[in-house]
Amino acid sequence: MSKPFKTYDEQIEILSNRGLDINNPEYAKIILSQVNYYNLINGYKTPFLDNKSSNEVEDVYKAGSSFEEIYALHEMDRELKEVIFSSLLRFEKLLKTSCAYHFSDLYRDGLYPYLQIENYSASKHQLNYVLKNIGTLSNAISRENKNSNGKKPIKHYIKKHDHIPLWVLVNFLTLGNISYFYNSLDESLQNKIARDFGERYKDSYHSKEKISKTELIDIIKICNFFRNVCAHDEVMYSFSLNKAGQTAIFEKFFDENYTGKNLHDLILVLKLVIPEKEYQSLISSISSIKNKYEGKFTSISIDDIFEISGFSNKWLLT
């Protein structure tokens, strides 16, 4: 059964009938015209619902919950996505740089060494990664070369040098692409790349712990999921991976529970892979956002919202 179209006034009436306070209907109409009912309400209503009274047919909101609170959560999530996306891009660039450097250092001869299957792991367990990776790299070059509006650096290198160095190509790959690349490499190359992150972490935090290739693979996984959430402007504060990685291997780094699934866990692992000053800036930004929105919630505390993201009351943001 299809959903009938509803005007902004009808949307507001539906919310009001379900127990949501609409303190300023005209303001609510403006917000709905800018954000979209589905994105705003369906994306951010959950903490404000009365779970005992709600059912599959109709939502019922907690007493005292308001439209303004739902919008405040939407805006807080948007601001969090902006600062976290910046840190994810920083990690992505560090990973691309390290992958391109160590692979190119090892395979210096010939054209397009990254398209040669013999330059990747021979393990049968990694074969799917290898084949997918080579196909992705080849398609990226072909697509940009054929496209009249293609990337100028790629066209330049093809025209002038008959070859695109990996350190150029990686700039036009996604984190998902570079994830397949890393998973295709043999163990020695994976270890060299992981060591780049490990040495930076050890120097910054005076730690004796190393970052292994297995740990880096899991870090790339959670970062890639959250990068996509940020890039596609999806709901982030409540996002959780369906399947966590190997949580036990991270116990040596953290004094608190790491599940490998939620926003809290993402913030923890970013400490391992971005420079210390940038990580501290990220923490400061998140703390500022939390303080900014703390007074905008009345039917639920901001600590309860951050708990949905995996943060405990002991977390340094409180």
Chain segment 128-142, per-residue pLDDT in tens: 999 999 999 999 888
> Cβ distance 274 to 283 under 8 Å?
no
Distance CA 34, CA 21 (A): 20
Does the pLDDT at position 152 exceed 80? no
Distance CA(271)–CA(253), nearest Å, equals 10
Average pLDDT, integer, range 278-288: 97
Token pair listed for 14 = 């539906």
pLDDT at 25 over 50: yes
Chain-centre distance for alpha carbon 96:
16
Distances in Å between the Cα of 203 and the Cα atoms of 91, 166, 198 are 17, 28, 9
- Cα angle 246, 306, 212 (rounded to 5 degrees) comes to 25
214-272 per-position pLDDT tens digit? 999 999 999 999 999 999 999 999 999 998 888 899 999 998 899 999 999 999 999 99
Asked whether 175 and 224 are in contact (CB, 8 A), the reply is yes
Determine if the pTM surpasses 0.85: yes
Who has greater pLDDT, 3 or 80?
A: 80
What are 143-152's contacts with CB under 8 Å, separation 24+?
Answer: 144/172
Q: Report the alpha-carbon distance of residue 97 to residue 7 in Å, rounded.
A: 50
pLDDT band at 55 (very low <50, low <70, confident <90, very high): confident
